Amino acid sequence: MQEKAERQQRCQAVEKLRETLDEKYLWEVILLYAGESFKTYTGLPFTYEVRKGRNGDYTRELWIDRRENSKSLALSSVLLALRNIKKVGAVVDRPKALGDIRGVSYIYGMFYRFGLIDVPDTARQKMKCL
């Protein structure tokens, strides 16, 4: 029952994000998808988490868990890629098309999963979710 409610909440948040491309909704979607599985353009699996700071609020960083070590990805990088979606168009051929942004291969996988971008057929096969 709770799983269905979470799925519905995700769907509603993603719908708002797709309609508006608003940063507020992107943050909401990022929080809702934390811990879920994603894949990069080349098919490498990863997850991310958003940690809370000392004051109890979420930090503006995503911690990408790809291997043994986590890498941080600043929210500002994700927002920059969001702004670039409008320039690039619906089908984004490769991650760098979103911009020369640190961590763009992870952002690309997230944006595809959120339905913000479409990818070429060759990439789609590699990026099928787990």
For residue 110, pLDDT beyond 80: yes
Q: Which residues pair with 46 in a beta bridge?
A: 38
Q: How confident is the model at residue 2 (pLDDT cuts 50, 70, 90)?
A: confident
Residue 46: phi and psi, rounded to 5, are -155, 160
Dump pLDDT digits (tens) for 44-82. Answer: 999 999 999 999 999 999 999 977 678 899 999 999 999
Give, rounded to a whole angstrom, the gap between the first and last alpha carbons of the chain: 22
Q: Any idea what DSSP says for residue 87?
A: H
| Cα–Cα distance, 69 to 32 (Å, whole number) | 23
105: tokens are 């291969």
pLDDT digits (tens, 9 = 90+) for 74-100: 999 999 999 988 766 678 889 999 999
- pLDDT over 60 at 130, yes or no: no
- Measured from the Cβ of residue 80, the count of other Cβ atoms closer than 10 Å reads 17
**From its phi and psi, is residue 78 left (phi > 0), alpha (psi between -120 and 50) or beta?**
alpha
Q: State phi, psi for 63 to the nearest 5 degrees.
A: -105, 110
pTM for the full model? 0.89
